[in-house]
Structure 1
Amino acid sequence: MKHSTKSSNRLVQWIDDRLPIFSYAEANVIAYPTPKNLNYWWNFGSIAGIILVIMLVTGIFLAMNYQPNADVAFASVERIVRDVNYGWLLRYLHMNGASMFFIIVYIHMFRGMYFGSYKAPREILWMVGVVIYLAMMATAFMGYVLPWGQMSFWGATVITNLFSAIPVIGDYIVVWIWGGFSVDMPTINRFFVWHYLLPMILVMLVVVHLWALHVHKSNNPLGIDIKTPQDLMPFHPFYTIKDLFGLGIFMIFFLFFVFFYPNFFGEPDNYIPANPMVTPPHILPEWYFLPFYAILRAVPDKLGGVIAMFAGVLILFVLPWLDTSKVRSAAFRPIFKQLFWIFVADCLFLGWLGARPAEGIYLVLSRLATGYYFFHFMVLLPLVGKLEKPKPLPSSIFEEVSKNCRTKED
């Protein structure tokens, strides 16, 4: 199906001749050729983009009323919720939006792992996605500190102190991050600036991510290459409708928490003003950091724990080369499919262990789950890729779609 890139509107033509934004949108959004067999698991990339826009807009309005000052930061957040017009809505959209952003991105990443979206020729697409994930983690951590409650203050103190484990320069790095010799006024100023700046960097990374996506087009559930024009269809209206439907379902889920359980993902201690003299019984990061927090605590050595925690994320960069199978989709890899779901369960288990005390049976289980996490990447993926016998792949996307349609009709 072909779309005309010329508009009958003279103003649109005049603008497009000088700045071809309309023809660019036509080619890359409306008529953009997309595999015919994408399912609803492919909705989460666009939903993540919408959530990023919501976070940017609400963050800008919150910044207009927030005071990055250790003496009044907590009170300024309370003022936003109580006195600023619709400040409560802005705050709860932003606060719960962070959790929603991570839920969507985690599903997006696991979908990529299941269908082999990290394999050639999309390695750079995957690696840029991992950089986006790292930028999200940094942005979320600094944003969590800004309300200046008990969990914010002590979370910042504990997490930034991890850098002191680095030999020779560790203490200097901690002092540089803090802007002094403790978490105080310069720290909250620095975190506020970075929390405002990193989303702009995040947007640029998303643009690069989309650029890389459009070079080789989306992967698909079959994990096979596009072979004929019949394998493709225009993005609009087929997938715009599908994305809008998925977005509607997601917004119901998102706004349910905003309006009915706004503090579901938060910690009660963060509604107590920061007090350097009183340490909370259990210092916990936000839920989306808990699997890596469990890995950190599973290693008895401080430096070893820090290395293991960062390795848990950085190992994703080399995933395209750790998986030695030539077949992308788990739909045709019976052993890999089972290992994938065991890996997902292990990640969820690590998240649960991250919220438990680092003692007794929980510590033992954390070490076992951490060991399996790295075992999956370093041993199982390379080994299974060489030994597994995949099922036969379909000859083309079009033939598989046509066969499924005939089956449904029958």
Structure 2
Amino acid sequence: MSFTWAKPYEPKTGVGKWFDERLPVPRLVWNSLGGGYEVPKNINYFWNFGVLAGVALVIQIATGIVLAMHYAAHTDVAFASVEHIMRDVNWGWLLRYMHANGASFFFIVVYIHIARGLWYGSYKAPRELVWMLGLVIFLLMMATAFMGYVLPWGQMSFWGATVITNLFSAIPVVGDTIVTFLLGGFAVDNATLNRFFSLHFLLPFVIAGVTILKIWSLHIPGSNNPTGVEVKGPADTIPFHPYFTAKDTFGLGVFLIILAIFIFFMPNALGHPDNYIEANALSTPAHIVPEWYFWPFYAILRAFTVDFILPAKLWGVIAMFASILLMFFLPWLDRSPVKSMKYRPTMKLWTLVLLVDVLVLAWCGGAPAEEPYVRISQIASIYYFAHFLIILPIVSKSETPLPLPNSIAEAVLKGKESTGAPAGIKDTGTAAAPQPAE
């Protein structure tokens, strides 16, 4: 018996029909995010984080637009304008704390989203482009967050911008030119603040555009699922709405509650106290660190301490960017036909080691550039690259995966006969038309 649970879009009113014939936006939304879009019936709460990332982006854009109305991008008054927002603008303190903590939560959601993709093999065919567009979004997020961190014009803002932009001077021949172009001069100053403010305002809209492309590319092959088995028929899917919109709404509620706890009870827990001191080019902080979500990459950058053919500083810059660019090649580095780590016992263990390794890098990145943190970050950096370039290719060819279920429905129902109906709903559909004998 064959059943299709997705409902076609049907306008209910005359105005709706008129609008649908001329600009079918409601139909597009229904077929993309509503009852007309079918998803695997076994996707779990880790699939909430794509929606949560979209909500976090909306929060950042909405609060950022209002904050920009009161912010002054000039070195003489930037710090004071932020204090003005906090003290004098109606609900300004709430907007600023929503924006600052929202950035951290955006990265938390995206990191979990990336981890889910690694665990369930969402980077494999036919979803390679979905994975790559997600990495493009991640790179744009990093650029946006870095430039946004400079805007409050505190001590860590100023010195963080100074240290990070000067890294590009390690690039042979064109390095100094790139630094001058980024800064708008020879040092972090008013031109730098203006450039960073303009790009920080612009890039979230670029992220939104790439997000639309990512959603579009996802709807062609459809969502992955915890088994990694592709959809084989209507019995494997249910409509996105109302089943997974309800699930996403629950996840969104939990996300907003935790975000609210940080905003109202510990708004500065994820920031650095030195950023409440106005920028001073004559006073260097004892320990310069970027925001916490950059710590793993900062640890990789600082892991290179010896000149070998190239300067150590240049090796650090190359390794830092390579640690992200490397993930673009994951679909070809991992040659296993099985997607999900649930059925790859050997690679599952190595992936858990990678998770611990990234956490160790984050710990080292937030610590002072001294022993034993430098030595630990060197060991952790070696494993990070070895995981993707050596361990993953070898294990993906040599390991023996566990038997896969024949279908998603079989995995969900544990071998019971599947009718394609959501669990707990009685099948009242009609049988499919008889097929001609072969």
What TM-score does the superposition give when structure 1 sets the normalisation length? Answer: 0.98
Structure 1 CA distance, aligned partners of 2:217 and 2:294?
27
**Alignment check: 8 A CA contact 2:410 2:416 kept:** no
2:362 paired with 1:351: yes
Structure 2 counterpart of 1:258: 263
2:26 paired with 1:15: no
Shift of 1:14: 1.0
Structure 2 CA distance, aligned partners of 1:52 and 1:356?
29
2:128 paired with 1:117: no
Structure 2 counterpart of 1:228: 233
Q: In structure 1, which of residues 53, 60, 66 is the aligned counterpart of residue 58 of structure 2?
A: 53
2:346 paired with 1:341: no
Q: In structure 2, which of residues 196, 203, 206 is the aligned counterpart of residue 201 of structure 1?
A: 206
Structure 1: unaligned runs, 5 residues or longer: none
Letter in 1 for 2:165: T
Structure 2: unaligned runs, 5 residues or longer: 306-311, 418-422, 425-438
* Corresponding residue SS for 1:34: strand
Letter in 2 for 1:296: L
**Alignment check: 8 A CA contact 2:167 2:317 kept:** yes
Give RMSD over aligned pairs. Answer: 1.3
Q: In structure 2, which of residues 390, 404, 408 is the aligned counterpart of residue 379 of structure 1?
A: 390
Structure 2 CA distance, aligned partners of 1:404 and 1:59?
51
Shift of 1:404: 7.9
Structure 2 CA distance, aligned partners of 1:46 and 1:8?
28
**Alignment check: 8 A CA contact 2:59 2:99 kept:** yes
Shift of 1:78: 0.4
Letter in 1 for 2:332: W
Letter in 2 for 1:75: A
Q: In structure 2, which of residues 16, 29, 32 is the aligned counterpart of residue 28 of structure 1?
A: 32
Shift of 1:159: 0.1
Q: In structure 2, which of residues 87, 94, 109 is the aligned counterpart of residue 89 of structure 1?
A: 94
Letter in 2 for 1:366: S
Letter in 2 for 1:232: T
* Corresponding residue SS for 1:359: coil
CA spacing shift, 1:251–1:404, aligned 2, 3 Å = farther
Structure 1 counterpart of 2:429: none
2:287 paired with 1:276: no
Matches within 5 A, 1:11-410: 11-30=15-34, 31-300=36-305, 301-403=312-414
Letter in 2 for 1:7: P
Structure 2 CA distance, aligned partners of 1:355 and 1:2?
49
Structure 1 CA distance, aligned partners of 2:235 and 2:38?
10
Letter in 2 for 1:249: V
Shift of 1:390: 0.2
After superposition, give the CA deviation of every residue in 1:198-228 in whole Å (9 maximum; x if it has no partner).
0010000100110111000000000011111
Letter in 1 for 2:18: W
Letter in 1 for 2:85: I
CA spacing shift, 1:4–1:168, aligned 2, 3 Å = closer
Moved over 6 A (4+): none
What TM-score does the superposition give when structure 2 sets the normalisation length? Answer: 0.92
Structure 1 CA distance, aligned partners of 2:6 and 2:304?
58
* Corresponding residue SS for 2:39: strand
| Greater share of helix | 1
Letter in 2 for 1:346: D
CA spacing shift, 1:68–1:404, aligned 2, 3 Å = farther
Shift of 1:241: 0.1
Structure 2 CA distance, aligned partners of 1:273 and 1:8?
58
Shift of 1:89: 0.3
CA spacing shift, 1:404–1:289, aligned 2, 3 Å = farther
Shift of 1:2: 3.9
Shift of 1:11: 1.1
* Corresponding residue SS for 1:279: coil
